[in-house]
Amino acid sequence: MQRILTLASGFSVDYTNMFGAERLQESDFAEYQQQLLAAHQAVQELTVTGNSTYGQQVLFTQMPEVKFGKINTPASIAKLQAYAQNMQNRVQAVVSLGVGGSYLGGRVIFESLVDEYWNGLSARERFGRPKLYFAGNSLSATALQSLLRELLRQAQAYVLKYKKRYTLTLLVTSKSGTTLECITGFMNLYTTFADYADVLNLEVAVLTQTDAQAPNPLEELAQVWGWEVFRVPTGIGGRFCVFTDPGLLIGAILGLDINSFLQGACDMALACQNADIWANPAWLNAALKYLAAQKNGKFIEVFMPYSPNLKALGEWYVQLLAESLGKKRADGTAYSRTPVVAIGSTDMHAQTQEHQEGLANKLVQFIQITHESIEVRVPEVFMQQEFFARYAGLSLNNLNKQALQANAQALASANRPSLTINLPVLDMYYLGNLMYFYMLSIAYEAELAGVNAFDQPGVEVYKQYLRAHGG
């Protein structure tokens, strides 16, 4: 029996293979009915009031709507658009500095929706939009040095060719304004580039959060130097902030349709108000994964899009899941599901052996893009040899779909669960649909599991050790 939840937009969740022998049964949903209903009520309450079960103000559910008095207002969107517009044909490159949630969302937009070799395209091919680099996401001196050298080389070549200075913008994103990787990366890039003022015109903008309880050194610095300031709104954690300035600004700079991205989130929010679990994708997704853990011991989730463009989405999801759900409950017991990223079909040649025959402690979450924007067929070459001739004319997109289907069938044949999210196309609308779906799913699962999705006390422990070492 096929089990598929399809929204009017065409976004669908095929969860057929979550049910069956050694997997979920209808009766599991009946057994957990009260808990499932309570989770739905808590998430709806959070959506309407912003009050979390743990007494925090959690405002991520306000992000999709652009409205006066909300997180995104017509004025805040206009400010982003104007800033991005002013970069077009003027700024040659942007370095986005940040780590964790502050940076991953923007990276997802970049990797999913622009040409993989964007930074190698000409300015004309980029429609005058800047090149985009990411930094401040590690403490690697090698990575920082390579980026410095590359940008200085570009600036020197630009001056020789155009007889004017190369303009570079540093976007420094840190909610707290104190994060080690981001701040030390910024200090290094800023100092070095300032020494090359003859070839390079340096601009800085910061994206940060004002906290009445704690000083924000980055915000103070921005005030002293008069840098442009964008906001990570109060009440929104880094891993939930892609629909606010840090994510939207990256989209606007690249010339992508940020209104469509927000509309995708809005439509998903609406679908997830449905009081019928079988028609509410986030509630259903959370329930399937929570019950697979409780009933069948599936404590690992393999996140496997069949598109290399969605690898950054996998990294974003890893943070969202791990940092939101991997923690202690009030009674001291722990909950978690370990996220693992795999890319289809590439990792069928690396991980699938283990998914198929290793410990039966995981579920595989596939993502399929139904209509790819680019089609490539295998050419008619080497036709005299039967082995090559049989591939001639085949569509790579169809082969990719067949690979996914074969993977899901093979897992099901061993009673191993998987589910497939189908996106009609990969664009800003469906990326908004998908990312908001995952955020809401996490909010639902946290309610089911009895953990607070919106804090990260475990992260403080290593930070204390690091500070003791002077970091």
Phi first, then psi: what are they for 449, rounded to 5°? -85, -15
Candidates 233-241, 256-264, 335-343, 344-352: pick the segment binding ligand PA5 (CB under 6 A): 233-241
Q: Kindly tell me which of 204 and 364 has the beta carbon lying closer to ligand PA5.
A: 204
Binding mask 315-334 for ligand PA5 (x = CB under 6 A): --------x-----------
Candidates 52-60, 220-228, 234-242, 282-290: pick the segment binding ligand PA5 (CB under 6 A): 234-242
Candidates 74-82, 174-182, 259-267, 392-400: pick the segment binding ligand PA5 (CB under 6 A): 174-182
Minimum separation from the CB atom of position 181 to ligand PA5 (A): 8
Q: Are 23 and 415 in contact (CB under 8 A)?
A: yes
Q: Kindly tell me which of 181 and 427 has the beta carbon lying closer to ligand PA5.
A: 181
CA distance 286 to 298: 13
Minimum separation from the CB atom of position 437 to ligand PA5 (A): 18
Q: Kindly tell me which of 182 and 288 has the beta carbon lying closer to ligand PA5.
A: 182
- Residue 118: both structure tokens together: 């964007």
Beta strands in 174-249 (DSSP E): 200-208, 228-231
Q: Kindly tell me which of 18 and 321 has the beta carbon lying closer to ligand PA5.
A: 321
Q: Kindly tell me which of 172 and 300 has the beta carbon lying closer to ligand PA5.
A: 172
Q: Residues 6 or more apart from 188 whose CB is under 8 A from it?
A: 144, 148
Minimum separation from the CB atom of position 208 to ligand PA5 (A): 8
Candidates 39-47, 154-162, 173-181, 335-343: pick the segment binding ligand PA5 (CB under 6 A): 173-181
- Residue 127: both structure tokens together: 């429609």
Q: Kindly tell me which of 100 and 281 has the beta carbon lying closer to ligand PA5.
A: 100
C-alpha distances in angstroms, 20 versus 213, 294, 415, 418?
51, 16, 7, 11
Any contact of residue 179 with ligand PA5 (CB under 6 A)? Answer: yes
Q: Kindly tell me which of 347 and 455 has the beta carbon lying closer to ligand PA5.
A: 455
Minimum separation from the CB atom of position 175 to ligand PA5 (A): 3
Closest-CA residue to 427 (of 374, 373, 375, 376): 373
Minimum separation from the CB atom of position 239 to ligand PA5 (A): 4
CA distance 232 to 219: 12
Number of residues counted as binding ligand PA5 (CB under 6 A): 13
Binding mask 78-107 for ligand PA5 (x = CB under 6 A): ---------------------xxxx-----
Q: Kindly tell me which of 225 and 462 has the beta carbon lying closer to ligand PA5.
A: 462
> What 3-state DSSP class applies to 363?
strand
DSSP of 39-106: HHHHHHHHHHH-B-TTS-B--GGGTT-B-TTSSB-HHHHHHHHHHHHHHTTT--EEEEE--THHHHHH
Any contact of residue 12 with ligand PA5 (CB under 6 A)? Answer: no
C-alpha distances in angstroms, 286 versus 56, 443, 447?
22, 8, 10
Q: Are 129 and 255 in contact (CB under 8 A)?
A: yes
**Cβ-based neighbour number of residue 333 at 10 Å:** 9
Q: Which residues bind ligand PA5 (CB under 6 A)?
A: 99-102, 174-176, 179, 182, 237-239, 323
